[in-house]
Every structure is written in C-alpha cells, then in structure tokens.
C-alpha cells in the first residue's frame, strides 16, 4: 500500500472516531444488533461481522450480550458501544441490560 493511501485511511479513521465521540457525548452507550442474523451453525464461522466493523474502525469499546434465541435455537445478540476510556460506564450499562433482559436461555447442545 502506498504511504499516501495509508495516511488517507488513517485520516478517515480519525474523522470517524471524532464523529462517533460527538454522538456518544450525549449518551451512556449506543445499542445496536451485534449481527444481522443469528449465530451460524457449526464452528467454521462466527457470523457476519458487518455490524461490528464501525466500532473496530473507530476503536470504541463494545460489549455484546445474548438477548434471544433464533428459531434455529442459536443465539442472537445486541451490542453496546461506549465512549473511549469509559469502559467502566459501558460495563455498568451492560450489567443493567442483563438485569432488564433476564436472558438465561441456552442454545441446544452440539452433537458429539
């Protein structure tokens, strides 16, 4: 990769991070789906990462929480994104969500 492309990509990353920080300034966390679908069957893949990519790009802390089982019996999750260096607050919000959701279902056991 040419140096100019790398520098341009880093500038886009910095700009996106500032924009996310601006949005997060008014909230404890942003709640979004963790993935567009339930977890895939088997161990060949962890699923579609497209809903995680913005936070990977911005470098913000994220917590994923199971919230339901799909008709397949596999888990579906939400994710909470918090402000940079505010992991404690994000974990507090995640704990509150766990209490409110009271999700305790287990996916079916994998065949041996």
Q: Where are the domains of the chain?
A: 3-101
110, with CB counted inside 10 A (0-12, 13-18, 19+), is: exposed
99, with CB counted inside 10 A (0-12, 13-18, 19+), is: exposed
pLDDT of the residue at 75? 83
Residue 73 or residue 93, greater confidence = 93
The pLDDT tens digits of the residues spanning 12-61 come to: 999 999 999 999 998 999 999 998 887 777 777 777 888 888 888 898 99
How confident is the prediction for the chain on average, in pLDDT?
87
Helix locations, 25-83, DSSP H: 53-58
- Is residue 33 classed as helix, strand or coil in its secondary structure? strand
Provide φ and ψ at 12, rounded to 5°: -60, -40
CA 41 to chain centre: 20
């Amino acid at each position: 990769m040419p140096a100019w492309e790398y520098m341009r990509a880093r500038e886009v990353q910095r700009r996106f991070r500032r924009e996310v920080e601006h949005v997060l300034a008014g909230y404890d966390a942003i709640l979004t789906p963790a993935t567009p679908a339930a977890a895939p069957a088997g161990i060949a893949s962890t699923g579609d990462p497209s809903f995680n990519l913005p936070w990977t790009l911005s470098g913000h802390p994220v917590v994923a929480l199971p919230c339901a089982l799909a008709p397949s019996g596999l888990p579906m999750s939400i994710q909470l994104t918090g402000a940079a260096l505010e992991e404690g607050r994000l974990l507090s919000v995640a704990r509150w969500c766990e209490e409110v959701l009271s999700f305790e279902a287990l996916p079916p056991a994998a065949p041996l």
